[in-house]
Structure 1
Amino acid sequence: MENDMETVSLIKTGFDLKDREVVCYPYLIVTFKIHLPRLFMTPRIAYTVVTTDMVKGAAARSNMFPETVEIGIQGTSIIPELIEEEEALKNARKTALRWIMYKFHSFRAPRIEVIQRQKAYKAFFHADIKGRTVLVDSVKGLEQDDIR
């Protein structure tokens, strides 16, 4: 069997992932700078980070652009992307536009530019908790309901 190692950007985690079987889930993370025009004033500038799921295509606002680390991982541990990067960017842009129109009650079209863009992966792994095997999200950790 071939050792098909790939290098990916993994979202930094507090968990020790050594000697664990991890599965990497793909995301596109984008920072937008939004120029919102205002009558007789300089444009309002707003920033937002949007994370798009590269499997389902769902986009959601994030609270920050995460730090990543480069790791080598087997290709079989990476969940394949089902949507193209450009479609994920389009979904992220729509989410940013919806947010800016809601937040500032604007009816004028803003100018949206991409400041930072990176494809990153989130790691998931199994752990034994109280005699049960649970799937752990390496960024969020375990929810209280998962432990019961």
Structure 2
Amino acid sequence: MDQPPSGSRVIRLINTPYDLTGRDIVCYPNLLLGFKIEVPRLFLTPRTVYSAITVDLVKGQAARSNMFPESDEIEISDDALVPRLISNDAAIEVAQNLVFRWLRHKYKIYKEPGIEVVKQQETYKAFFYTQDAKNQTLLVDSVKGIELNQ
């Protein structure tokens, strides 16, 4: 792959049903983490649980997700990227705290579970502007989309 020109970089963008060609997009950073968790059980072998966590790299909030979304590499200018305010280490710590809270809710925890990060990927979600039927400008999340009330 060729080096991108200065002022731009190659990122992983979450796949979207929208056609983004010719649109001015803004990309929002997220860190996707896959965890392998060994939950100890009394008198039994440990239970192995897998969980995917998405961490917002601007606000530092984590949420459980049901899968790793598919993403493609694109080249984009640095001006279209929202700057990240959270480091990867801080994001992993926030995600581990969420995993502990979820495990305490889901299972009876007698000993500290073994948590291992098995997959880590920084992806971006695209946002763009569009016009509705009333010529109002709308901000569209390329993953969730919008519902137009006509």
TM-score (norm 2): 0.91
* Distance in 2, Cα, partners of 1:121 & 1:86: 18
Q: Give the secondary structure class of the aligned counterpart of 2:92.
A: helix
> Do residues 31 (structure 1) and 31 (structure 2) align?
no
* Distance in 2, Cα, partners of 1:147 & 1:57: 33
Match of 1:40 in 2: 43
Q: Give the secondary structure class of the aligned counterpart of 1:101.
A: helix
Q: Deviations over 1:103-132 (max 9, x none)?
A: 113242110001110011000001111221
Percent identical:
45
Cα drift, residue 68 of structure 1: 0.9
Stretches (4+) displaced over 4 A: none
Is the Cα contact below 8 Å between 2:40 and 2:110 reproduced in 1? Answer: no
Match of 2:56 in 1: 53
Match of 1:63 in 2: 66
Q: Deviations over 1:43-93 (max 9, x none)?
A: 111111100010110011011111110000010000001111110111011
Give the length in aligned residue pairs.
145
* Distance in 2, Cα, partners of 1:3 & 1:84: 23
Q: Which of 137, 141, 146 is matched with 2:141 structurally?
A: 137
> Do residues 21 (structure 1) and 24 (structure 2) align?
yes
* Distance in 1, Cα, partners of 2:110 & 2:23: 50
- Alignment RMSD: 1.5
Cα drift, residue 100 of structure 1: 1.3
Is the Cα contact below 8 Å between 1:101 and 1:107 reproduced in 2? Answer: no
Match of 1:125 in 2: 128
Change (3 A) 1:147 1:135: farther
> Do residues 102 (structure 1) and 105 (structure 2) align?
yes
Structure 1, unaligned runs of 5 or more: none
Match of 2:92 in 1: 89
Amino acid at match of 1:10: L
